[in-house]
């Protein structure tokens, strides 16, 4: 499915298009997954309900409001350090898009300082594993055991600080809202989906502004557009390109018969540029209302941490808009290949600071 109408309809119809058989190419009805399935992404009601409710409450607006000033200060500090240490020429992916989420998000979850560099390769491995089993998956194989063991260890109660998102999930288990076995899996879902998607969403925004100087000036004049800019970048580049669903019954979509048990590949990136839904869809445009894009999914499986990502983006883009007059590419950006993610390995830029 590539058109917005069909993709959106399938995302919200979890009864007909289930996630519990896996959101990758493998069908969990017939194949054993490489790890315990995600209680949020790879489960349907009723198994999906309690984990999502607990995570939604852990990430509720009051918790995020407490992070706003802390993250804004962290973004300003990061930019100061980048400019002081690297000057006005640097790799925006490495210095900003990757560095900022790895600095603030693990703190918010309650992780300790050691080993955070494992989060990106673990997420990369998880998104590659949605398939197919190609050279990208095979290249991850030597690190699967070590990365999985490290992430699983971070999900244990004793590994987490007492004031983070992870501790709130464990507290919900103590109240009986989750089982003790479910709690670490919910923390794992947060770590798996909360880093790579934000990193590549931020990279999409930085790439967009480096190639659209007029839109950068628009943001500088109206920094309150930072969240709109992030959503438009997510629509425009779709860091998560695809997801699968499985038909629970024979169903007809756009005149085609989908047999029960069939895997359906939904092209989120295509839906987000469908000219039947978006005017001038290939343009990055801050005057557009990007709400309704499917870059974070839709329906009951819509990304529960999307507001965390938006807050991170708001902090970083606002800090940049205050200090940076212009962003421009100094070379060809390099893509990082992944079976599911549209991502970068490098975005070389030159910035001009406000005088």
Residue 65 phi/psi, 5-degree rounding, is -60, -35
User: How does residue 192 score in pLDDT terms, banded at 50, 70 and 90?
Assistant: confident
Is residue 355 predicted with pLDDT exceeding 80?
Answer: no
Rounded to an integer, the average pLDDT of 47-64 is 94
Rounded to an integer, the average pLDDT of 22-31 is 92
Helix axes 182-193, 165-174, angle to 10 degrees: 160
User: pTM for this structure?
Assistant: 0.95
**Number of separate domains in the chain:** 1
Assess contact for 203 and 127: CB atoms under 8 A.
no
State how far the Cα of 183 lies from the Cα of 180, in Å rounded to an integer: 6
Q: Give the pLDDT of residue 297.
A: 96
pLDDT in tens, 82-132: 999 999 999 999 999 999 999 999 999 999 999 999 999 999 999 999 999
pLDDT in tens, 211-240: 999 999 999 999 999 999 999 999 999 999
Dihedral of CA atoms 226, 227, 233, 235 in degrees, nearest 10, equals -160
From residue 16, alpha-carbon distances to 33, 43, 268, 295 in Å are 22, 14, 18, 21
Q: Give the pLDDT of residue 161.
A: 96
Strand partners, 327: 351
Residue 307's domain spans which residues?
4-353
State how far the Cα of 21 lies from the Cα of 135, in Å rounded to an integer: 24
Look up the CATH number of the domain holding residue 51: 1.10.630.10
Q: Give the pLDDT of residue 262.
A: 95
- Mean confidence (pLDDT) of the chain: 95
Strand partners, 336: 343
Q: Is 22 left (phi over 0), alpha (psi -120 to 50) or beta?
A: left
Look at residue 350 and give its three-state secondary structure.
strand
State how far the Cα of 268 lies from the Cα of 301, in Å rounded to an integer: 14
User: How does residue 79 score in pLDDT terms, banded at 50, 70 and 90?
Assistant: very high
Assess contact for 39 and 189: CB atoms under 8 A.
yes
What is the Cβ-side half-sphere exposure of residue 57, based on CA atoms within 13 angstroms? 14
Is residue 32 predicted with pLDDT exceeding 80?
Answer: yes
pLDDT in tens, 278-326: 999 999 999 999 999 999 999 999 999 999 999 999 999 999 999 999 9
User: How does residue 35 score in pLDDT terms, banded at 50, 70 and 90?
Assistant: confident
Is residue 339 predicted with pLDDT exceeding 90?
Answer: yes
Rounded to an integer, the average pLDDT of 320-338 is 97
Assess contact for 264 and 244: CB atoms under 8 A.
yes
Rounded to 5°, angle at Cα 173 from 301 and 71: 65
User: How does residue 354 score in pLDDT terms, banded at 50, 70 and 90?
Assistant: confident
State how far the Cα of 155 lies from the Cα of 331, in Å rounded to an integer: 40
Rounded to 5°, angle at Cα 148 from 147 and 152: 120
State how far the Cα of 324 lies from the Cα of 50, in Å rounded to an integer: 44
Look at residue 182 and give its three-state secondary structure.
helix
Smallest CA-to-CA distance from 124 within 302, 297, 345 is with 345
């Amino acid at each position: 499915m590539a058109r917005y109408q069909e993709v959106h309809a399938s995302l919200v119809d979890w009864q007909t298009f289930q996630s519990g058989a896996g959101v990758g190419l493998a069908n969990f009805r017939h194949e054993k997954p490489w790890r315990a399935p995600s209680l949020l992404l790879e489960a349907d009601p009723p198994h999906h309900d309690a984990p999502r409710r607990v995570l939604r409450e852990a990430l509720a607006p009051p918790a995020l409001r407490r992070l706003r000033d802390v993250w804004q200060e962290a973004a300003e500090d990061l930019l100061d350090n980048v400019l002081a240490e690297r000057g006005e020429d640097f790799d925006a992916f490495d210095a900003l898009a990757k560095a900022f989420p790895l600095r603030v998000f693990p703190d918010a979850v309650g992780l300790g300082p050691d080993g955070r560099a494992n989060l990106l390769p673990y997420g990369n491995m998880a998104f590659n594993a949605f398939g197919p089993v190609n050279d990208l998956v095979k290249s991850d194989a030597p690190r699967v055991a070590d990365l999985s063991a490290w992430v699983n260890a971070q999900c244990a109660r004793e590994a987490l600080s007492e004031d983070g998102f992870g501790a709130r999930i464990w507290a919900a288990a103590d109240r009986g809202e989750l089982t003790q076995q479910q709690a670490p899996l919910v923390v794992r879902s947060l770590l798996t989906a909360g880093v790579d998607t934000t990193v590549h969403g931020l990279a999409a925004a930085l790439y967009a502004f480096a190639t659209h100087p007029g839109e950068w000036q628009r943001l500088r004049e109206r920094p309150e557009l930072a969240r709109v800019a992030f959503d438009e970048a997510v629509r425009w580049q779709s860091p998560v390109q695809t997801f699968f669903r499985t038909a629970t019954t024979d169903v007809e979509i756009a005149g085609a018969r989908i047999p029960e048990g069939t895997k359906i590949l939904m092209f989120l990136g295509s839906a987000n540029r469908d000219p039947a839904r978006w005017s001038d869809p290939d343009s990055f445009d801050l005057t557009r209302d990007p709400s309704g894009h499917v870059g974070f999914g839709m329906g009951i499986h819509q990304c529960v941490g999307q507001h965390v990502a938006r807050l991170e983006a708001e902090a970083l883009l606002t800090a940049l808009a205050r200090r940076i007059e212009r962003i421009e590419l100094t070379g060809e950006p390099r893509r990082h290949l992944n079976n599911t993610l549209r991502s970068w390995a490098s975005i070389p830029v030159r910035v001009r600071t406000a005088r």
